[in-house]
Structure 1
Amino acid sequence: MTDVWELVRDEREALIDDLAGLSDEQWQRPSLCGGWTVHDVAAHLVDNARTTRVGIVVAMVRARSDFDRQNDQGVARAKGASPAETLDRLRAVADRRTTPPAPLDSRLVEEVVHGEDVRRPLGLGRDYPDETVHRSLAHQLRTSVALGGGRQRAAGLRLVATDADLSYGDGPEVAGPAFSLLMVVSGRAQVLEDLSGSGLAQLEAGLSGSR
């Protein structure tokens, strides 16, 4: 498999290219992350790239072990006074290889899912590489929702990719493109229209807003 950091860098650089052409109004648009604008998500990715094993412990202490509060505080720290400043900060961390104490594929999930959180409201598209999507989906399915994954959302269902030789789990079927399966197990209800199958209602019932 490709080194995960190469895939992470590719996703960061692709998003930087997309963000570089945005108007001020587009930077302020709501993203797919509840309560966050496109600008907020970009700042989150800056903060995420700067995260270290020690730094995340300090950040969680400051946030009194509240994951959402820690994320919001990180956005506030990383966000520039203007979109241009935030974009410069994102460029500066494009090749950074620091991480919290989590599986490395979680770094790839952050870039892919949040990249789409930005692109979809802006009407932008990206042809995400198959390896990137498949590794991200596998990671989300083995990781608890409490840790940013999607295992519980997919519990009791059989997920079938219609564009790859991939299937996961047992139960009523949910079928669709692998990328849409990744997004829905990551809590993004906006892709439900891409999916079909007898398990779709069960999957939809288990969704909630997520970062």
Structure 2
Amino acid sequence: MDEAAMWQVLDDERAGLADLLGSLTAGQWAHPSLCAGWTVREVAAHLSLGPRIGLGTFLVEIVRARGGFNRLVDGTARREAVRPRDELVAALRAASGSRHLAPGQRLPDAMMDVLVHGQDIALPLGIDRPMPLEAARVSAEHIWHRGFPFHPDRRLRGFRLTATDVSWSAGDGDDVQAPIATLLLLLTGRYAVLPGLTGPGAAALIARSAATH
């Protein structure tokens, strides 16, 4: 994918998620997401903040988080989540069309982030939200080779991941198969998708993941 195509995915996903979030009830906003410790509200807050955060704010937050990336992400989302729901929806909708990236973020990171967090919201609520196949494939390839912050090459060592709906595979070992959207969620540490895995290595990977999480 070229940059224009990735920006279009970001625009479409942000606008679509703003529509989805705007349709949810208060109870659904308070529902646990696939992100450990976050409800739908914290995920929405995180998504709405990234396109708006500037370097000065980022530096203040990284000091507050004592240099910890995960603490920074968690803390900023929780503080942002106190805003009213309609403000969070409006901020996310306004981000559609923005060409601003958070400090240190690259365009493939931003695309992967919105694809995965969209599923973090939709799946626990039983909402079917199809993921664009090519964007998911590019995101899977990106996070596999980048490593940080999920390090899938280490967590999934000993298995070969193969997509069943696009041409993509990674790793070495017993074959584990699933649609690319499921594999992207697995690569980013969403173990709720484990029941959707098939192939010769699926049972072993599920058993290993259950033992360590």
Global fold match (TM > 0.5):
yes
Equivalent position of 2:189 in the other structure: 187
Equivalent position of 1:87 in the other structure: 89
In 2, distance between residues paired with 1:13 and 1:116? 15
In 2, distance between residues paired with 1:19 and 1:64? 32
In 2, distance between residues paired with 1:33 and 1:87? 19
Give the gaps of 5 or more residues in structure 2. Answer: none
Contact residue 153 and residue 203 of structure 1 kept, 8 A: no
Is 1:48 equivalent to 2:58 in the alignment? no
In 2, distance between residues paired with 1:150 and 1:56? 26
Deviation at 1:20, TM superposition (A): 1.4
**SS in structure 2 at match of 1:172:** strand
**SS in structure 2 at match of 1:147:** coil
Equivalent position of 1:75 in the other structure: 77
Is 1:135 equivalent to 2:131 in the alignment? no
Give the superposed CA RMSD: 2.1
In 2, distance between residues paired with 1:132 and 1:199? 26
In 2, distance between residues paired with 1:149 and 1:14? 29
Going from structure 1 to structure 2, the CA distance change for 1:130 and 1:74 (only over 3 Å counts) comes to same
Contact residue 150 and residue 189 of structure 2 kept, 8 A: no
Q: What TM-score, normalized to structure 1?
A: 0.88
* Residue of 120, 132, 143 corresponding to 2:123: 120
Equivalent position of 2:11 in the other structure: 9
Letter in 2 for 1:137: A
In 2, distance between residues paired with 1:170 and 1:53? 40
More moved, 59-68 vs 74-83: 74-83
Contact residue 161 and residue 175 of structure 1 kept, 8 A: yes
Going from structure 1 to structure 2, the CA distance change for 1:58 and 1:151 (only over 3 Å counts) comes to farther
Q: Percent identity among equivalent residues?
A: 37
Give the gaps of 5 or more residues in structure 1. Answer: none
How do 1:148-167 residues align onto structure 2 when only pairs under 5 Å count? 148=150, 150-167=152-169
Letter in 2 for 1:119: A
Contact residue 18 and residue 90 of structure 2 kept, 8 A: no
Deviation at 1:186, TM superposition (A): 0.8
Is 1:199 equivalent to 2:201 in the alignment? yes
Q: What TM-score, normalized to structure 2?
A: 0.87
Deviation at 1:173, TM superposition (A): 0.8
In 2, distance between residues paired with 1:143 and 1:71? 18
Equivalent position of 2:21 in the other structure: 19
Q: How many residues align?
A: 208
Contact residue 172 and residue 199 of structure 1 kept, 8 A: yes
**SS in structure 2 at match of 1:110:** helix
**SS in structure 1 at match of 2:173:** coil
Equivalent position of 1:106 in the other structure: 109
In 1, distance between residues paired with 2:189 and 2:80? 24
Q: In the TM superposition, what whole-angstrom CA distance separates every residue of 1:99-126 from its partner, at most 9, and x where no partner exists?
A: 2324320101110111100000111112
Deviation at 1:63, TM superposition (A): 0.9
Deviation at 1:32, TM superposition (A): 0.6
Equivalent position of 1:37 in the other structure: 39
Contact residue 30 and residue 121 of structure 1 kept, 8 A: yes
